[in-house]
Structure 1
Amino acid sequence: MPDKPLRTTQSPTQPPTPTLSTSEEQQLRHYLQATLSDNTRKTYRSALLQFERAGGRLPCDRDSLVRYILVKAGELSTRSLDLHITAIRQWHQQQGLADPAADPMVQRTLEGVRRVHGRPPRKARALTLKQLGELLAAANAQEHPLRALRDRALLLIAFMGAFRRSELVAIRVEDIQFEADGMLIHLPRSKTDQDGQGLVRAIPAGSGSVCPAIALKEWLNATNIESGAVFRAMNRWGQLSEKPLNAASINELLKKLASSAGLENVPEFSSHSFRRGMSTAAARAGVSFELIRKQGGWRHDGTVRGYIEEGQQLQDNAAHTLLEEMQRLTNPRTTSTTDANHSGRHRDD
């Protein structure tokens, strides 16, 4: 998305700001662009392009924006439409222009669209440990041995490290520190660390074929990768590229392996299934909330609790006790005095 900084800013009570030189303007533009991640900037550019293809022109006014909302209502999801409006708002703000999206008419129109067309967001299905095992078996069964090694290491690290797909493809050999009891993966930057403070994801050692560290070492040794991207693209003949996997290809890889493994609901799996799956499986195994939150690098407690609650909504359920009690009451073999007393204690008056 183009960034054009405002050249002068002045008010009746302040002296005028000196006009920036060409080099200063370029430097300012560089820093303004750095306020958005590459992925966000690409998303905004795509939204602005769609706005222009629909007949919109930048800068725009309230009426043009309302007209665009009417065209896209029902065609785009409400979340996507909100994102488009955000992109248009950002463009105007970065040009130092009035924001047409702030107009009450625009906001009321959006609210109405949400009420009429709003739908729950589609969520990635959480991977279970059993399904992870089936995916590993499908990865091992692939025809090309290098692809099998890469995908096995990728699956284990993605799940146990609760990595986002952008983080996964950004891992470099230089970021990995092997230890006797596992490995540490240093992330110079992530979605929740846009300031580049860096964070570390620790992955303990496992045993045999389910050890992420062993799987990664086997992949690196087989390919002689000593620096640069760890998970690299590979053509149909198994020839390795110098370039890392594209983040979007993680979804395709997961769906392909899920289909080969015969899993159900394949379209519902995505790279986010690793993070949801890790949090859910860990909670079921009795891992504390704080350790789950730390492993996934989540900033907000509510996000983690939501994943855990969704993953355990059939296990942590008030109806469990009721179904057990109903089974006790309707089972003719339940004739012991203890059971009879138990039923009596719970019988409604």
Structure 2
Amino acid sequence: MDKAQRYLTAGKRENTRKSYRAAIEHFEVAWGGFLPATAEGIVRYLAEYAESLALSTLRQRLAALAQWHVTQGFPDPTKAPQVRQMLKGIRVVHPAKQKQAAPLQLRHLEKTVYWLNSKSGEAIESGDYRALMRYRRDAALLLIGFWRGFRSDELARLQVEDTQAEAGIGITFYLPYTKADRAHQGTTFHTPALKKLCPVDAYINWITVAGISKGPIFRKLDRWGNLSEKGLKSSSLIPLLRRILEEADIPAQAYSSHSMRRGFATWASANGWDIKGLMSYVGWKDMKSALRYVDASSSFGGLAAYNAGEIEHDR
């Protein structure tokens, strides 16, 4: 790979590249389409899969086709009026309720962290160092994921070198890019220490027991308790989250990796955070995106009990 190609490749996420390649392959191989395509061909393709694929998937396929045509120097057929009309018709004929992750409730978070801390105490007493690492990691993952409102890929990309924590004060994370940071300018996130369910203490406890001084914060532990040097994959966080909750006797099937982010947003909204303050704290640029995460019907309560006043200054 030459220097130019290296930087061109770095400009697009690996997951996006893979999904775009798969979309082009689906159009050419599975459906038998030809490239460059015409607007009429795109319309027939959409009609063929309108019933079997979600509208979001069809839009992703169109994005891949659009990029292929632009990069190859051809007119983009996906912008044609008939293609837009086709998408509108699919949305009308096949309306789909948007799926949302259930918000992780604060009482469930509290119960799970209490269980993890109890198991950590047992592991210390029995000298089970490897079990202690697992419980410390899981507690840090839950508390940082909830109070910071991180997405799963953001949790997976956190690095020790880009994190500063001071007990009783707060913790600061730096991410070179986020979903909202299209220009890759980098974003710094701060969370204060709390009197209960403290993400700062959980982080310090985890990296101390794991002996981590650089690299990914959250890493895989195999069945024998061996700690990997590589970070967790974002796709592994859903089964990991559900396992942690189920072990603490919390029904977990409705929860996904977005549950911590949505749980914090719902808790903050129920406790008086205005939408602009919430957007600034979590990192949303679009108000519609923020509102999708807020469940107005849920109220977790406990503003004073859980030190909400100490995170209020970040609003």
Shorter-normalised TM range: 0.7 to 0.9
In 1, distance between residues paired with 2:102 and 2:191?
23
Larger radius of gyration: 1
In 1, distance between residues paired with 2:78 and 2:287?
31
Residue among 260, 272, 279 paired with 1:274: 260
C-alpha displacement of 1:100: 2.1
Residue among 122, 143, 147 paired with 2:99: 122
SS at match of 1:49: helix
1:190 aligns with 2:178: yes
Q: Is the 8 A contact 1:123 1:268 kept in 2?
A: no
Q: Which residue of 2 aligns with 1:203?
A: 191
Q: Which residue of 2 aligns with 1:344?
A: none
Instruction: Give ranges in structure 1 of 5+ residues lacking alignment.
Output: 1-21, 316-349
CA 1:314/1:230 → structure 2, altered by over 3 Å: closer, same or farther?
closer
Residue among 289, 295, 299 paired with 1:303: 289
Task: Give the partner amino acid of 1:47.
Answer: A
CA 1:102/1:302 → structure 2, altered by over 3 Å: closer, same or farther?
closer
Deviations 1:224-247 (A, max 9, x none): 111111101121221111100001
Q: Which residue of 1 aligns with 2:164?
A: 177
1:40 aligns with 2:27: no
Of all paired residues, the percent bearing the same amino acid is 36
Q: Which residue of 2 aligns with 1:347?
A: none
Q: Which residue of 1 aligns with 2:296?
A: 312
Q: RMSD across aligned C-alpha pairs, in angstroms?
A: 2.4
Higher relative contact order (CA 8 A, sep 6+): 2
In 1, distance between residues paired with 2:245 and 2:57?
28
In 1, distance between residues paired with 2:8 and 2:194?
44
Instruction: Give ranges in structure 2 of 5+ residues lacking alignment.
Output: 124-130, 300-315
Task: Give the partner amino acid of 2:254.
Answer: E
In 1, distance between residues paired with 2:181 and 2:226?
34
1:110 aligns with 2:94: no
TM-score by length of 2: 0.82
SS at match of 2:173: strand
Structure 2 matches for 1:317-332, cutoff 5 A? Answer: none
Q: Which residue of 1 aligns with 2:219?
A: 232
The number of residue pairs the alignment matches comes to 287
In 2, distance between residues paired with 1:80 and 1:47?
9
SS at match of 2:234: coil
SS at match of 2:112: helix
TM-score by length of 1: 0.75
Q: Which residue of 2 aligns with 1:98?
A: 75
